[in-house]
Structure 1
Amino acid sequence: MNTTKSPIVLIAGHWLGAWAWDEVLEHLAAGNAQATALTLPGLDPEDPARTTRTLGEQAAAITDVVTGLGGPVTLVAHSGANFPVSLVLDRHPELIHRMVWVDSGPVGPGSVFLPGFPEEAEDLPLPDFESLGQQASLEGLSEEVLDRFRTRAVPEPGPVLREPLELTNDARRNVPTTLVCCSIPGAQMLELARSGHPMFAETSELTDVEVLDLPTGHWPMWSRPADLAEVIAAAAG
C-alpha cells in the first residue's frame, strides 16, 4: 500500500465502537495510511447519557473528527453507520474526498432504521446469533470473534433507531463513492437499486460510483481485515 492522499475515518455499524476496526487499522498503519476509528455517541458503555443519543449528535461527532483532520477525508461507513453518515454527507459534502460504504450504502430522506421500535424501549441489545444470522451473514467469523462481539457489544440507542432522516442537499449524491459488497454481490445490489428497492434506492442516485466485491459475511473487518484495508487504502489514495 502506498501512502494515502486523504486521511481515513472508520465508523462501524450497530453495537460497535472504534475497537471493531483494530485489525484493519493495523494493516492500514503498515501501509503508512493515516486512519482514525470513531466510537459514535451512544456506543460508549461509560457514557451516562448513552441511551438518549441522537443521529444529530452522532453526525456532529463525525463532523468534529473530520474537520479536526484538516481536510477532505475518506469516510468509511459499515452497516447501520449509514444513517449518521448520510446526515454528514448531506450537511458537509465538501468535507468528504471519497465515501466508502462497507456492506452498506446511502440512505434516502425520511428513512427510519427500525420503524415501530417502541418509544418506551431505551435501546436495542445485540440479538442472539441465530436471530442475527437470519438478518445478516455471519460467514467467516470464528467462535473467538463471535465471543468478542458478544462481550464488547453495546446496545444501540433507541432514538437512533426511531428518528426519520432529514436530508435536503442533493450534493451528497455527487461525492465519489466506493461500494464494498460483501454479503450481497455488487451486481445483485445494483439490480435491486435500479428496481427501486427501498433499501438501495438512494444508491441509484449516485453520480460517481465504483462497485467492488469482497465476498464474505457482513463483518469483513473481522473476516477479511487485510483485504478490506487494501480496498480502503486504494480508495483513499
Structure 2
Amino acid sequence: MKVILVPGFWLGAWSWDRITPALEARGHDVTALTLPGLESVDADRSGIGLADHVEAIVAAIDEADEPVVLVGHSGGGAAVHGAVDRRPDRVARAVYVDSGPLPDGAAINAGLPDEDGEIPLPPWDVFREEGSRDLDDFTEAQLADFRARAIPIPIGVARDPQVLSNEARFDVPITLISTTFTRDEIDQYVAAGVAYFSELPKIKDVTIIELPTSHWPQFTRPEQLAEVLRDAI
C-alpha cells in the first residue's frame, strides 16, 4: 500500500523518521512530506496558505500508481481532509493522528500568535495549561530537540478557512488515533459541534483508537503509534 505521511505544525518529513521504517518493514511504500514553507528556517513562507498544503498532498496522491492511505498529524490532518475532498476516489483511508477532518469554512488555529507573518513554535507553557495532555511523556531532551528543529509555519496555513465541496469525501473510511482526548470526550465534542469533529457523523466508516500520550506520539510513543498505523493501513 502507498502511504503518505503528513506532518503537523512546525514539523517536516523528519518527524516521521521513527515511524517510516516500521511501515516499510510491512511492505508499504511510504512517502513522508515536508509541506511548503516548512523546508527550513530560511524558507520563503510569504503567501503560503492552507490551499498550498492541500495541493502538495494532492500532487503526492496523483504521483501514486494506486489508491493511497493518507496519515495526517495535528494541523496536517486538516490538509489531509482537504486532499480527500479533492481526490476521494484515490484515497483508500485517511488517518488522523490527534487531529480530525476539519470542516468547510473552519480554520486550523486562528489564535496562534504570529511574528512577522509567520507562526513560530510557542513557549512550552502554552501547552501546559490546566488539564492539557499535550506534553505527556515528553522528556526534557525530546522537548529541546523538538524546539531546535521546529520551523515556523506560514500564517495563512493556520488562519485560512478550509475549502470543501465534494460530498464523496464522506465515503472515504477514516481512522482517528486519539492521544490527548478520550472516546467519551470525542462524543461530547461531536454533540457540541466542535469543528474538528463536526464531520464525523457524516462519514460512513469511522474507527476511533485511543493511544494515551502526548499530542506528538511519533516522538513519545513511536513504537505504539507505528503498530496502530500498521493495523489501520
TM-score by length of 2: 0.91
Corresponding position: 1:26 with 2:21: yes
Corresponding position: 1:109 with 2:115: no
**Count of residue pairs brought into register by the alignment:** 231
Aligned-partner Cα distance in 2 for 1:195–1:73: 32
Aligned-partner Cα distance in 1 for 2:17–2:120: 22
Percent identity between matched residues is 38
The corresponding residue for 1:179 is 176
Aligned-partner Cα distance in 2 for 1:66–1:143: 37
Please identify, of 37-46 and 110-119, the stretch whose mean Cα deviation from structure 2 is larger. Answer: 110-119
- How far the C-alpha of 1:197 sits from its partner, in A, is 2.5
Corresponding position: 1:197 with 2:194: yes
CA RMSD of aligned residues (A): 2.0
Decide whether aligned partners of structure 1 residues 34 and 139 sit closer, same or farther in structure 2, where only a CA change above 3 A counts.
same
Q: Which runs of 5+ in 1 are unaligned?
A: 1-5
Amino acid at match of 1:197: V
The corresponding residue for 1:81 is 76
Q: Which runs of 5+ in 2 are unaligned?
A: none
Please identify, of 72-81 and 128-137, the stretch whose mean Cα deviation from structure 2 is larger. Answer: 128-137
Secondary structure of 1:212's aligned partner: strand
1:42-96 Cα distance to aligned partner (Å, 9 max, x none): 1111664223212222111111112212111110001011222221111111111
Secondary structure of 1:63's aligned partner: helix
Secondary structure of 1:199's aligned partner: helix
Amino acid at match of 1:59: V
Output aligned runs, 1:111-130, within 5 Å: 111-115=106-110, 121-130=116-125
Decide whether aligned partners of structure 1 residues 46 and 119 sit closer, same or farther in structure 2, where only a CA change above 3 A counts.
closer
- How far the C-alpha of 1:118 sits from its partner, in A, is 7.9
Output aligned runs, 1:21-100, within 5 Å: 21-45=16-40, 48-100=43-95
Aligned-partner Cα distance in 1 for 2:111–2:175: 31
1:104-136 Cα distance to aligned partner (Å, 9 max, x none): 100111102233678984111001111123366
Corresponding position: 1:137 with 2:128: no
Contact 2:80 2:94 in 1 (8 A): no
The corresponding residue for 2:224 is 227
Secondary structure of 2:199's aligned partner: helix
Please identify, of 115-124 and 186-195, the stretch whose mean Cα deviation from structure 2 is larger. Answer: 115-124
Please identify, of 81-90 and 194-203, the stretch whose mean Cα deviation from structure 2 is larger. Answer: 194-203
Output aligned runs, 1:152-167, within 5 Å: 152-167=149-164
- How far the C-alpha of 1:185 sits from its partner, in A, is 1.0
1:186-232 Cα distance to aligned partner (Å, 9 max, x none): 23212321332333212222111111111111111111111111111
Contact 1:44 1:50 in 2 (8 A): no
Aligned-partner Cα distance in 2 for 1:22–1:48: 21
Secondary structure of 1:52's aligned partner: coil
TM-score by length of 1: 0.90
Aligned-partner Cα distance in 2 for 1:145–1:58: 27
Corresponding position: 1:207 with 2:201: no
Contact 1:194 1:204 in 2 (8 A): no
Amino acid at match of 1:173: F
